[in-house]
Amino acid sequence: MGLPRIDIQFKTLAATAIKRSERGTVALILEDDTSYSNPIEMDGINDIPKDLSDTNKEQIQLAFMGGVKSPRKVIAYIIPENAEGASADYTEAQNYLETIIWDYLAVPQIKSSDVMAMATWVKGLRDNKNMEVKAVLPNCKADHEAVINCTAQKIITAAADTYDSGSGYDGGSKYGKEYTAADYCSRIAGIAAGCPLTMSITFQVLSEVTDVLPHMTVEECDEAIDNGELILINDGEKVKIARGVNSLTTISADKGEDWQKIAIVDKMDLWKRDVTRTIADNYIGKYNNTYANKRLLIAAVQAYNDSLTAEGVLDDSLPEYNNVTIDIEAQRLFLESMGVKVDDMDEQQIKEANTKSSVFITSNPKYLDAMEDMKISVAM
């Protein structure tokens, strides 16, 4: 029997969703004057090529530091160094990155004049090519969930022997210096890639950082976050990420406030990746497009949603959440386009109608957020 195995695979994916989400992949585009066979795939800092420049070694190390966990992998694509003031040619690297799976991108040597073009490319991957990817870019008002806008002006780190390195990171020779936002995008990408679905990067401590400038008032922090900026704050004892937000600021019916949260977008991406690829691998082209087979597919995706609910990824507080059904309106419009008189059909007839090779399914997963906003009343 063929189709029920999709049900089993979906349940297996759901059961491992949290574990899988802890170890994402960071992609880096780096400039170097040495000739390499691209790409450079690394599972840890011991895989960093010894003849890379010190600057690029450090960027890879920053990505591998991670947060709750280190990234599963860092993939570096090397492009030639450019003359001072000249724009880099990212075409070859971008063409490659469109062919593989990754989660977060950083381009630490990117010039300010190239930032928006890189953002536009990443946005296009999500909007037009169905790739669940994000980029951490410096000072980039992209107004899109695909771009995390890192805006710290100056990040000051401790000497290598004065902080708990963690994650197997050896400190490196470059620490005890100042960094720009662009310099630290690899670090933020690594933190995001290593964050489980049950958490967010809000208040993630950067143990190697001693201070960040400018110091901001509470009002200034609130304004920056509302403007879609990922900022670092010094709470007087440690430096940490103020809130895990992306650059999206324009809220619409299609993209509500949830889309501004890095943690929620990561959950959306996992759901989309699991569902679309499992269907593509196990269903498309393998079964007749009958109403009975559509119902079996719906049941399989529903089982995935139910399992994610049990794993604490989806919210089941209301019965209308997380349901999977045939998209009646989309199916009605399709039938109309084929010349079918849908005004004479009831809902069940529309569900059972022949839609040729097209399948119209809708779901409304409701993602759980992490604890971030606390209000505590103290009775005296």
Q: What pLDDT score was predicted for residue 12?
A: 73
Q: Distance of CA 353 to CAs 6, 328, 338, 374, Å?
A: 24, 11, 12, 50
Q: Which residues of 134-164 are buried (b: 16+ CB within 10 A; e: fewer)?
A: bbbbbbbbbbbbbbbbbbbeebbbbebeebe
What's the angle, vertex CA 244, arms to CA 110 and CA 310, rounded to 5?
A: 130
Nearest to 332 by CA among 305, 362, 304: 362
- Report the 10 Å Cβ neighbour count for 373: 7
On the question of pLDDT at 161 being above 50, the answer is no
Residue with the two structure tokens 């950082």: 209
Nearest to 20 by CA among 66, 69, 67, 62: 69
- Report the 10 Å Cβ neighbour count for 27: 26
Global pTM? 0.87
Asked if residues 135 and 163 have their Cβ atoms less than 8 Å apart, the reply is no
148 forms bridges with which residues in the sheet? 136
Class of domain 22-260: alpha beta
Average pLDDT of the chain is 90
On the question of pLDDT at 228 being above 90, the answer is yes
Cα 187 from chain centroid (whole Å): 15
pLDDT-based confidence at residue 166 (cuts at 50, 70, 90): very low
Q: What pLDDT score was predicted for residue 293?
A: 92
User: By three-state DSSP, how is residue 359 classified?
Assistant: coil
Q: Find the Cα–Cα–Cα–Cα dihedral 265, 266, 268, 272, rounded to 10°.
A: 140
Q: What is the pLDDT of residues 86-115, one digit of tens each?
A: 778 999 999 999 999 999 999 999 999 999
Q: Which residues of 215-230 are buried (b: 16+ CB within 10 A; e: fewer)?
A: ebeeeeeeebbeebbb
Asked if residues 322 and 314 have their Cβ atoms less than 8 Å apart, the reply is yes
